[in-house]
Structure 1
């Protein structure tokens, strides 16, 4: 289970990413496949933006629409080299409006 984004309210983003890096290095043996999970509005443009971010990385993706069709959940298993790359990808995805990172 991934609790990396639990309770980040009020935290300085740089401190958060430093803490995240330490947790990643402590709990993962890079390079490895890393599971990203996202939820975002059901909009093909947002899905395209997500694909573009992971374009140069080996990954598999599974998507599922919510019951009412308003949202899409995406699970991406991406081969990453280190904690810095995991964080870089999270930062890029966070720039997509409306995406929730789990």
Structure 2
């Protein structure tokens, strides 16, 4: 279900976006639970390491796949989160990695 939460993202006002996202998360999820994050980023081991570090302190599983031409990596991370605030906090941290696209 969470793949639809970011679709209507209007990044002109990030704070309003995160307030809206929090409301949608609380409406559509029963926390604590496993939450699926999906990202695409340039194929760079440093970026992958940064992603691992962000999720390091929580329970998660990750699957990655290189694009056909090897320029990008897609990552699906199933993380056990306590609440909508934690979901958003993790999104904000990942957003700091240059070149990451959040799906």
TM over 0.5, shorter chain: yes
Aligned structure 1 segments of 4 or more residues deviating by more than 3 angstroms: none
TM-score relative to the length of structure 2: 0.95
- Offset, 1:10: 5.0
Cα distance in 2 for partners of 1:19, 1:93 equals: 19
Q: Unaligned 5+ residue runs, structure 2?
A: none
- Offset, 1:71: 0.2
Cα distance in 2 for partners of 1:90, 1:10 equals: 13
RMSD: 1.0
Cα distance in 1 for partners of 2:27, 2:57 equals: 26
TM-score relative to the length of structure 1: 0.96
- Offset, 1:39: 0.2
- Offset, 1:6: 1.6
Cα distance in 1 for partners of 2:91, 2:70 equals: 25
Give the count of matched residue pairs: 102
Q: Unaligned 5+ residue runs, structure 1?
A: none
Partner residue, 1:57: 58
